[in-house]
Amino acid sequence: MKRDNWPSFQELDAAAIEIAHAALMDGVGIVAIGGYAMLYHGSDRLTLDVDFAATGDIPSLPHLKRSRRGFHTLATNGVHGDIVLRDDLLHYQAIETAIYVNYYNIGGPLPVARKEYLAAMKFLRHRLRDLRDVTWLVTQGRVDPSRVMEILSNTAMGLASGARAADRFNHYAAEALAADARDRTKHG
């Protein structure tokens, strides 16, 4: 089903709970990532779907389409879900250290990636919208850049050189903070 409009926050929440519950019932580790996790951490950016990192396949969910990184699914309310199947340390630690949010109005708990892990994943993904999210996390003081660098150094070996990724993140964070300071000075 193709949506003609943006899903509401309530629809995103319901879809996220449904997908997370299916994974947990199938014995699969899972954590919310992407734009939906950014909303949890205070961002106001819009998203059309809910993204998750999972430790394995989730057989009880419909598999609409396979992707290079996992598969796409559809919640019963029509909201799309993207399931990223990764077997690297960064994603396992994001799942292991997840924040569990209880949504009493629709069920729960829902595992959400901690903001430092989210920043590390988005930085390594390196798409424009992900880098904008990283910039927001850094300039709004939502993450400690040194903690993100530590996570990258310790976990990014299979994805990129951990030390190189941490150095690149340090440079990126410093540039984002400097640009934010210039903007604040210019606009008073």
Q: What pTM did the predictor assign? A: 0.89
Q: Looking at the chain, which residues constitute the CATH 3.30.460 domain(s)? A: 9-113
* Topology (CATH level 3) of domain 9-113: Beta Polymerase; domain 2 (3.30.460)
Distance (Å, rounded) from C-alpha 51 to C-alpha 141?
Answer: 24
57: its two tokens = 């396949």
pLDDT, tens digit, for every residue of 44-98? 988 999 999 999 999 999 888 888 889 999 999 999 999 999 888 999 999 999 9
| DSSP structure string for 100-126 | EEEETTTEEEEEE--HHHHHHHHHHH-
pLDDT level of residue 104 (50, 70, 90 thresholds): low
Return the C-alpha torsion angle 42, 52, 49, 113, nearest 10.
0
Mean pLDDT of 2-13: 82
pLDDT band of residue 28 (cuts 50, 70, 90) is: very high
At 111-137, the pLDDT tens digits run 999 999 999 999 999 899 999 999 999
- What mean pLDDT is predicted for residues 163-169? 89
